[in-house]
Structure 1
Amino acid sequence: MDPRNRSQDVVRCELCEENVVQMHCDTCLVKLCKTCVGDHISSEECEDPKVVRFQSRKSVPVYPMCALHDNKRCEMHCQQCTVPICFICATSEKHAGHRFKNIVDIFDEKKREFEKKIKDLQENIRVKHAVQASKMEKRIADLEKEFTTLLDTVSKHGEELKRKIDQIVMEVQSEIESIRKNHVELLTATRTEVQQNLTEIDREVSSLQETLDSNDINKVFHFTPNKKIYKNLSDDPVLTMPVFSTKRIDFVQLREMFGTLSNIVTKPTAIAKVRLMETPVIVHRIATGYSQLYGVAFLDRIGIWATGDAQQIKLFDVNDKSIKKSIDTKLSGDQLISLTTQGHLLYAERDDKTIYIVKREQSEELISLQGWEVVGFCVTSADDLLVVMTSDDKRETRVVRYHGRVEKEIIQFESKRKPFYSVGPNQTLICENRNFDICVADRDACAVVVVSQDTKLRFRYKGNPPSLRLNEFRPKGITTDILCNILVSDMYNACVHVVDQSGKFLTFIDCPRVEPWGLCVGLDNYLYVADTASSDVIKILFLQ
């Protein structure tokens, strides 16, 4: 059955309305059976009947009827008026001097245009849409996996928190049980003593009674009383019942303590508006006063910490470039800095064993290592601390996750105990991406090593394209931006590499006459670069 008629069981002749259609008049578009063909041709209703097999219908062009002359078909096209016309219209004064074209030629041209459009739609536009649809399907599937992983992470964190609460409950119950045992032991000892005294008293009464009943003068005269039982009764033990003082649990504080999601832009329109600039712009420089500048860490929208070759870590205003405060660390070597989610400054001396935290302008030890030395660290969005450390014998490098002072996780080996990180004398700076990847600038390996949250190797970036740079890629500082791009300072090539979260090279941010070391992207989405050559912090606009 013709697909154009598959919605009908049988197509009937439009004249007799009984027989099955076999023929078709392409002039007046009437469906006919063979019996009715002669009647249709001989009738005056169709001026120029063109009867074909029904399967071949519309193979002959159907000319439009003229709007001005009844029963006349338009076989020409006026080029000036751009309208179909019949023979009578062509000879009228309205179209005098106009150029005409066979309407079938126009018809064929239009059909060729449609064929081109169909070909373009099928071979180009539809293919691109199909590829994009497939890509979106994959992204949706990947997104579902990532969110499943994220939900599992939150669930596991909740289970861990429950275990810790259960542990706290058990510890408090154990303390209560210990106090209970002490109290019971004390009362039991007192009861035993009293019972012993009762036995002695009963024995003394019996002896006295026996002596009393005796007529033996000598026995009465020589009776010796038990002085011990005549003592005053000892006081009851004083017991203090423990009181469990509960603290009010504030839901908001508990929610913040549980963990926070990183501030990722989720609206497609917002993401679309933020992109890398083709030519980043240096906004201004902040003079730090150091002879050599090492690192930077962003505090808030106006404050940035900087550290260099002095014992003081300084806080600067990023707008008016003034110094706001300084912290005396009493450390003389290369200093590493980071900030907690509450804004507390953390610092350590490279190759030392202690990380300090500054609270109320006072420094105190946060973590002290045994057998390992600090070579880099950062604070995560969950306020965990990721510490890159090397062993004292310089044979191993690892990343350890701490929550407060408690060690939670060690990230050191791939499969078959192949180490993630190299061992060398240089800083190994670290940051967490907004997708929770752990990004390490492994300078001695000449690579950026990116490990997923579940400690699987994502990729190693070794500089791209190396042919465009003069010197070997030796990553120093590392940070990430709002798009989950990874930014890495390349001191010896005076630039910053920008790599997406999958390891694809995107662009260079060239920094002429600059030796970039530490990096950070602030809450204002500007890039701040520690220029060790000039000891200035350089503020760069790189997103738009």
Structure 2
Amino acid sequence: MKEYVHRYEQLANKSVKFLLFIKKTPIPKTTDLPDTLMCNINEEIETEGILELLVEIKITEVGKRQVRNEQMLKLMPQGMLKKFVAVPDLIHGVHISFLTPDRIWVNDGRSLCLTNSKGNNLHRLFDVSELYGVHTVNSTGELIYVDKDWNINKLSTDNTTKSTLINRTERWEPWCICHSSSAEDLLVMVRYDSDNASIPLSDVKCIRYNSTLQPIQTIQYHKTGKPLYHEPVYITENKNGDIVVSDIGKGVVVTDRDGKYRFTYTGPPEGLSLFMPCGICVDTFLNILICGRLDQTIQMINRDGLLLSILPTKQDGMVQPLGLGYDEKNHLVWMGSGKTNKLCVYRYIERHDFLA
């Protein structure tokens, strides 16, 4: 039995090989066990007790077992350009929010456009803020966005009804937002609007609103008392609950679900002076993808800030990468540019037969 356990641990991810091992190595009969062990087994096992336990077992799953989707995916050695999608109603792509794999919201600083994978215009809003990561989509498919008056609005799924969720509070302005799918909360980066040209670093914070739009958490300072943020432009949440903020003045700042500082990514060592983080998104492996606006790359780091790969975009004709969005169903990353209305679609994750 120890051998079975050992082989199972070795072949847990190779189901076919483990089944072949069982077929070739039958389980020893109880009569082959030592007499002393057989005596103990017979004394301890009661048939009626076993039958009662079997009756209590409830089967909750039916149908064929399937390997988890994540187990059938792997990172490609190098990402590849899949296609371009031109959106005629936009001048460039600042931020991308997925409604469905075939319907995405994209803004360009002038308007916010709902388009499909072919670039057709399905709906358009003109009261959106001129900043970058100012829209998100909640779990029910409603668009949430920051308008020109610094209010946070919601658009119904049929694109007919707008309502105000959060009014601008005093002089605090929402700079970027994201929907927290893990807790159905709304994460909002706000910055204090000062009359002075120089805004204090401490006047930037992340506020978490619950489903009833009550502020339940504020993230603003490092444990040393220093401000965490300076000029946030995008915010997203990783699948492990980490809050990831792209900050032009700091880098990519990551805190955990409780707001505890984890790390700041400031770019690869060889390109530190050129690193300016813009659009960010996360994938199914909890990796963080970052648009490097100046060095014109998409950089991928793991959940702990280790650089995994760099995808140059200039070689594909895409300069000044700005917005990023991740298609969770097809495992594609969409990138918007600050120079063109074309959206660039890359594949860097591929499926493989896990049982082969």
Same fold (TM over 0.5): yes
How far apart are the structure 1 equivalents of 2:223 and 2:245?
A: 18
Higher mean C-alpha deviation, range 327-336 or range 476-485? 327-336
Q: SS at the partner of 1:492?
A: coil
Equivalent of 1:354 in 145, 151, 155:
151
Q: CA RMSD in A?
A: 2.3
Kept in 2: contact 1:435–1:484 (CA 8 A): yes
Deviation of the 1:272 alpha carbon = 4.4
Higher relative CO (Cα under 8 Å, sequence separation at least 6) belongs to 2
1:390 aligns with 2:191: yes
1:421 aligns with 2:229: yes
1:541 aligns with 2:341: no
How far apart are the structure 1 equivalents of 2:178 and 2:166?
A: 13
> What is the 5 A alignment of 1:429-508?
429-445=234-250, 447-464=251-268, 466-467=269-270, 469=271, 472-508=274-310
1:529 aligns with 2:335: yes
Structure 1 unpaired stretches of 5+: 1-132, 134-266
1:221-266 residue CA offsets vs partner (Å, 9 max, x unmatched): xxxxxxxxxxxxxxxxxxxxxxxxxxxxxxxxxxxxxxxxxxxxxx
Which one-letter code corresponds to 1:437 in the other structure? D
Which is helix-richer, 1 or 2?
1
How far apart are the structure 2 equivalents of 1:471 and 1:413?
A: 25
How far apart are the structure 2 equivalents of 1:534 and 1:306?
A: 13
Which residue pairs with 2:167 in the alignment?
368
Deviation of the 1:332 alpha carbon = 6.5
Which residue pairs with 2:93 in the alignment?
293
> What is the 5 A alignment of 1:260-299?
270-289=69-88, 290-299=90-99
Which one-letter code corresponds to 1:358 in the other structure? L
How far apart are the structure 1 equivalents of 2:340 and 2:126?
A: 23
CA 501–329 in structure 1, closer or farther in 2 if over 3 Å, else same = same
Kept in 1: contact 2:172–2:193 (CA 8 A): yes
How far apart are the structure 1 equivalents of 2:71 and 2:123?
A: 40
How far apart are the structure 2 equivalents of 1:518 and 1:334?
A: 12
> What is the 5 A alignment of 1:174-185?
none
1:137-164 residue CA offsets vs partner (Å, 9 max, x unmatched): xxxxxxxxxxxxxxxxxxxxxxxxxxxx
Kept in 1: contact 2:129–2:146 (CA 8 A): no
Kept in 1: contact 2:177–2:234 (CA 8 A): yes
Q: SS at the partner of 2:284?
A: coil
1:301-348 residue CA offsets vs partner (Å, 9 max, x unmatched): 21111111433x222222x3333x213233463362110111101111
| Bigger Cα Rg | 1
TM-score (norm 2): 0.71
Which residue pairs with 2:218 in the alignment?
410
Identity %: 24
Which residue pairs with 1:345 in the alignment?
143
Q: SS at the partner of 1:353?
A: coil
Give the total of aligned pairs: 271
1:487-541 residue CA offsets vs partner (Å, 9 max, x unmatched): 0100111111100001111001211132211111012211010112112111111
1:71-95 residue CA offsets vs partner (Å, 9 max, x unmatched): xxxxxxxxxxxxxxxxxxxxxxxxx
Kept in 2: contact 1:338–1:346 (CA 8 A): yes
Q: SS at the partner of 2:249?
A: helix
TM-score (norm 1): 0.47
Deviation of the 1:471 alpha carbon = 5.0
Q: SS at the partner of 1:520?
A: strand
Structure 2 unpaired stretches of 5+: 1-9, 11-65, 351-356
Kept in 1: contact 2:127–2:147 (CA 8 A): no
Deviation of the 1:433 alpha carbon = 0.1
